[in-house]
Amino acid sequence: MREVKLFVVGLGAVGGGLMRLLADKRDVYKRRFGVDVKVSAVADSKGVWAGDDLDPSEVLRVKEEKGTVAAVGEETDPLSAMEDVDFDVLVELTPTDIETGEPGLSHVMKAIELGKHVVTANKGPLAVAYSEIMEAAEEAGVIVRYEATAGGAMPVFNLVRETLRSVDVLSLEGILNGTVNYVLTRMEEEGVTLEDALAEARNRGIAEADPSMDVEGWDTACKVVILANSILGVECTIDDVDVTGIERITPEAIEIAEERGYRIRLIGRATKDGDLVVTPALVPKSDPLSRVKGTMNLLRLGTDVAGDILVSGRGAGPLETASAVMSDVLAIAEGISGLERRHPA
């Protein structure tokens, strides 16, 4: 049985989801893929816990009871711990910082330098340094996968890479932020203000305490950058995106749009020519983009020979996002493609 040993940095919602997923499905993955996914180390902001084969349920318990895995591990930095721990794949799940990409960027570069593969759900490093990361990875002969960075459980990058080989994707546009879409949907349905809809979203755990990254469009812009680099081959960073948020959208604007047959949606858009835009747009009600409700995400790919291809899925959620991370881990673990997977059940 092949083994893949993970070094997981970041034990917030997604990291927790990943531990739950592993606790539940490790045996399924063994059976289905012949791959044993082991946790060699976990790290949060306070320290690192390394071990031969950490029990994911135990990691969750410690984290919940003690607040940090440093309680049983060591007060140390993942950067130095990576040098000592025996692992195959860095799983980078620290919070996104779109100014510096840190601390994720350093973690990712360190892992690559050590010849380790990387799976990340952190948008920061890719939004500020996509090309550098990919060049370093190519040189080191390691794989960097990042399915969870755009659209949570909605398959996007691997969809294009693995299933649309024969076509060229010329453009893409989508609804890529569940919080904003939830807020716009609520304003539409209830006639409430942005502030009220946001307060509701916060109460329901959909919006973060400080939702400015979402509302101002920067979260969507990160996703546009990663999509444009990865799918369209446009070399760009977050600085290249023309970003307008939904701060000024009023219930009145939504009502007027509604009367004229439109809905207002925050759209992220990119073309092969390098046009990168995030903006609230009037979307005709007949367009599938107008029909995405609540926290769902939707991406439309414009292709040369296959027409439009749409994909939709949950844009967030700990377990949903963790499932995308785990799919990346399994793809790397298999080494070669799913061609090997013969038994679906």
Where along the sequence are the contacts to a second copy (CB under 8 A)?
21, 24-25, 28-29, 33, 134, 138, 143, 147, 153-155, 158-169, 230-234, 272, 288, 291, 303, 305-314, 317, 319-320, 322-327, 329-332, 334-339, 341-345
- Name the residue nearer to a second copy (CB basis): 70 or 320: 320
Edge-to-edge strands, sheet with 117-120: 48-54, 35-43, 2-9, 89-92, 117-120, 144-145
* Rounded distance between C-alpha atoms, residue 301 and residue 171, angstroms: 6
CB of 116 to a second copy, least distance (A): 15
Q: How far is the CB of 248 from a second copy (least distance, A)?
A: 29
**With respect to a second copy, which residue has the nearer C-beta, 215 or 297?**
297
Which has the closest alpha carbon to 157: 324, 338, 6? 324
* Shortest CB 284 distance to a second copy, Å: 13
Nearest C-alpha neighbor of 323 from the set 7, 5, 40, 28: 28
| Whole-number Å distance between alpha carbons of 202 and 188 | 18
Shortest distance (Å) from residue 327 CB to a second copy:
4
| Closest C-alpha to 155, from 332, 314, 338, 21 | 314
Nearer to a second copy, 27 or 252 (CB): 27
Give yes or no for a contact between 151 and 313, defined as CB atoms under 8 angstroms apart.
yes
Query: At closest approach, how far in Å is the CB of 302 from a second copy?
Result: 12
The residue (of 87 and 130) whose beta carbon lies closer to a second copy is: 130
Which residue in this structure is represented by tokens 């903006």?
A: 279
Furthest-apart CA pair in the chain: how many Å? 63
Query: What does each C-alpha distance from 316 to 135, 179, 244 come to in angstroms?
Result: 29, 9, 22
Q: Which is nearer to a second copy, 102 or 273 (CB)?
A: 273
Of residues 154 and 281, the one with the C-beta less far from a second copy: 154
Judged on CB neighbours under 10 Å (0-12, 13-18, 19+), 139 is exposed
Distance in Å, CB of 311 to a second copy, minimum: 5
**Residue 223 annotated as catalytic:** yes
229 by DSSP, 3-state: which?
helix
> Which residue in 25, 30, 223, 272 is the catalytic one?
223
The answer to whether 82 and 109 are in contact (CB under 8 A) is no
Q: Which is nearer to a second copy, 6 or 329 (CB)?
A: 329
Note the Cα 285 to chain centre separation in Å.
28
Contacting residues for 337 by C-beta, under 8 A, at least 6 apart: 162, 331
- Least separation in angstroms between residue 306's CB and a second copy is 4
Cis peptide preceding 56, ω within 30 of 0 = no
Catalytic residue numbers?
223
